[in-house]
Amino acid sequence: MDRTSARPTGLLSLHLEIALGIAASSVLIAALVLLASTFGIPFTTYTGFYGHEKKQALENLSFVADLKKDRLENWLNEAKGDLSILSTGKSLGALARRIEETVSRPAETGVTSKSVSREIARDPNYANVMARFDAFVKTYERYSKIQLVAADTGSIVVSTAEDETGTTFGSVKAFETTSRSSQEVKVDVEKDPVDLRTYVVLSKSVPYDGTQDASRAGRAPVILAYADMEKLVRPMLYTGEGMGKTGEILLVSQERRALMSLKHSLPDGTIPKALAYQIEATPARLAALGHNGIVESKDYRGVPVWAAYRFIQVSPGQGWGMVVKQDVSEIMAPVWSGGFYTSIIGIIGVVTACVLALAIGRRISKPIDELSEIAEQVGSGNLNVKARTDGPPEIKALAHTFNSMIEDIRNWHDELGRQVELRTTQLVKVNQELHAEIAERKRVEDALRAGEQRYKYLYEKTPVPLHSVNDRFQIIHVSDYWLELLGYSREEVLGKAPVDFLTPASRLQAEQVNIPRFLKQGSAKDVSYQMLKKNGEVIDVLLSAFADRDAEDELVQSLSAFYDVTDLRRTERALQQAHDELEERVLERTAALERSNLELATQIEQRKHTEEKLRSVLADLTTSNQDLEKFAYVASHDLQEPLRNVASCMQLLEKRHKGELGAESDQLITYAVDSVKTMKLLIEDLLAFSRIVTRGKPLEMTDAEEIMKLTIRNLEQSITRAGAVITYDPLPRVRVDRTQLMQVLQNLISNSIKFARGEPPQVHVSARRKGQAWVFSVTDNGIGIDSRFFDRIFIIFQRLHKKIQYGGTGMGLAIVKKIIERHRGEIWVESQPGVGSTFNFTIPDGG
């Protein structure tokens, strides 16, 4: 066992506790003694230094106050007596009467203080009175001055002070009241306006001398005696008393005005002035109110003081307050200093007591500490120790007992050691066996737990929907995939029957047929069911299961797995539907095809028929066309010969017999000749027309511009005649029969010149590309053509004008159209009557 942990766990050691106890009690005692000696013992008559000092001080203050009050009252009485004496005497009485008379004259006589005093000074009694006043002042030495004042005007008539005679009295108030009570001496405190000193002013009216008219009472002159407050009264109050540094005696009026200057300045540093400063402190207030007593309070500075206050009756209805006070701090200073030294001594005593206490504590606790140390060693197993047996008898006895106890413990310890050793050997063996067994068990348990967990893991995580039921057909295991597929949580499924998750129809099937069969056979394979998912969807499944049965062939538990064949079923249904639809459409389409086949056969038949018809018409047409061309050729060729003969005959007839057969015959001959000429032209044109195809030359690349130039040269005569202007753009090379292109251009340009509007014809030839062909345009400014005739003009012999108007055969444009058609081109006209015409024709690139 750890040595230190066996130690007592108290905060302080024994000897320190003893020392602290002694020290604390000595401090307490010293403090109590100090407090009692200073402030006394409660509920007893002992008041301590403080109480004693306070009592003494208050007694002292009361004593001083009484003394000073007596002195002041004595002095006042004496002064009053002085003034009573001074106010009597014949000369004064006579002078007073004279003064009264003087001041009571009507105002208009010009009475002033000066005039009064001048007049009185001349009075025989004046010198006498003056001498008496002077003697009085000098004899008593207590008055600063004595005055005689006219009561009505306040004029100072007689004064012991220089330069005052003839002036007006400073404080009229003082003698006004005095004059009304003529028998009394009134005492006031006034500040002299000239020398600014504070005086105790005693005043008394000069009494009647018997001759005076009683009705004029109250107007007698007043005699005033001035005693200096600071010079006379203050020393009187302050002599002979030990009042310390802060001791002060104050005099206040009944209105609490300070009558003498105060000893201390105020807390704000100002010096309170006599008669100006009003004292609010409690002692002064109490004294001014007429009380006598002692009080513990604050003075006018706010400093704590002890004070004795007295009221002094200075005259009937008039009094002063007197306060004798001293600062508490000064009075108590000896007490505090005594307390300080007592405390020092007390502290020294306490320190000594503590040192002694430590020593005593040490001596008491040392043997105990030693014993406790030995006990600790025994506790920690060391039994070979012994306590010292010297020292005080109590400790000796304790040490003996201790040693015999150690001896006993040693014996027990040895015996115990032997037994423990034996038992330990047995225990170690048993322990080892137990450990081995526990380890084996743990290993087996771990293996079991691992196997179980693996089985559970495999069951739950296998990606096949699995469930197992117990003997009551309640689901006891279910795989995650099962839950995921149907959307339930494990808690919702466990404890339910598998049939709870089937559609009503499947459930009926299961309960009535499949489950009884499964219980009988012990297995089922690919049984078709419909299951209900949590979200209400129905899925198709194929379920297989086998039963785990006990010896009595009763179901213990089962394992079922199923797979979702919903998609398969859906696909099957969709396929079937598509197949059905397809078949239906094939039937429909076949019927429609048969119908259209029939129609087509009919149409083909009709076409064949039409084609045959067309072919025979075409053959007819070709034959007739060839016949026509042959006819045209033969007719024009064969007709030329007889026509030439007719023409020759007619010309011969004209030549020989003109003018012989009469005018009418001549005319007829001329007609016949013209007709033959025309016929000749017609036949020539017809012949040319019929030769376009039969005598056409092969097509070849030809410079159209060159042809254009040749054409202009050919037409030069008629151009010049008509004054026509022929212009043309650069023209392309084209695949044509050059003679026929020249024929086309010649016919069109000559028409443009022929069908002019009276002004010189302007003809312009241009060419532009359009698709696979060149479009040539011949534009003029001639008479133009009405759009109604656009087609007609291209037909043989079709003319719009009479021959007499414009000559021609009506074959020109027919020939042009025929040539263009030979070149697989087209021709058309754009025209506006009165503006001009444009003849367009195309020459395809192939020609």
Interface residue list for ligand ADP (CB under 6 A): 751-752, 755, 780, 782-783, 785, 793, 799-801, 808-814, 837
Residues 503, 168: Cα–Cα separation, whole Å: 141
Neighbours of 187 (CB within 10 A): 22
Neighbours of 377 (CB within 10 A): 16
Give min distance, CB of 806 to ligand ADP, in A: 6
Judged by beta carbon, residue 569 or residue 680, the one nearer ligand ADP is 680
555-564 and 466-470: which strand pairing? antiparallel
Residues 781, 260: Cα–Cα separation, whole Å: 156
Residue nearest to ligand ADP (CB): 808
Give min distance, CB of 685 to ligand ADP, in A: 8
Judged by beta carbon, residue 141 or residue 759, the one nearer ligand ADP is 759
What amino acid occupies position 167? T
Judged by beta carbon, residue 808 or residue 844, the one nearer ligand ADP is 808
Give min distance, CB of 808 to ligand ADP, in A: 2
Give min distance, CB of 683 to ligand ADP, in A: 14
Q: Which of 811, 725, 823, 714 is nearest to 776 (CA)?
A: 823
Residues 626, 617: Cα–Cα separation, whole Å: 14
Give min distance, CB of 762 to ligand ADP, in A: 12
H helices of 462-524, in order, are 480-486, 490-493, 504-509, 515-521
Judged by beta carbon, residue 698 or residue 758, the one nearer ligand ADP is 758
Give min distance, CB of 636 to ligand ADP, in A: 16
Judged by beta carbon, residue 589 or residue 721, the one nearer ligand ADP is 721
Give min distance, CB of 774 to ligand ADP, in A: 21
What amino acid occupies position 24? A
Judged by beta carbon, residue 181 or residue 798, the one nearer ligand ADP is 798
8 A C-beta contact, residue 237 and residue 310: no
Give min distance, CB of 839 to ligand ADP, in A: 7
Sign of CA dihedral 648, 650, 651, 653: positive
Judged by beta carbon, residue 478 or residue 785, the one nearer ligand ADP is 785
Give min distance, CB of 616 to ligand ADP, in A: 34
Q: Which of 14, 13, 10, 7 is nearest to 380 (CA)?
A: 7
Judged by beta carbon, residue 265 or residue 727, the one nearer ligand ADP is 727
Contacts by 561-566, CB closer than 8 A, 24 or more apart? 561/464, 561/465, 561/466, 562/465, 562/529, 562/531, 563/464, 563/465, 564/465, 564/485, 564/539, 564/540, 565/528, 565/540, 565/541, 566/538, 566/539, 566/540, 566/541
DSSP string, 804-820: TTS---S-HHHHHHHHH
Judged by beta carbon, residue 277 or residue 689, the one nearer ligand ADP is 689
Q: Which of 757, 822, 748, 824 is nearest to 784 (CA)?
A: 757
Judged by beta carbon, residue 774 or residue 794, the one nearer ligand ADP is 794
CA distances from residue 469 to 496, 520, 825 in whole angstroms, order as listed: 9, 16, 99
**175 CB burial (10 A radius; 0-12, 13-18, 19+):** buried
Give min distance, CB of 692 to ligand ADP, in A: 14
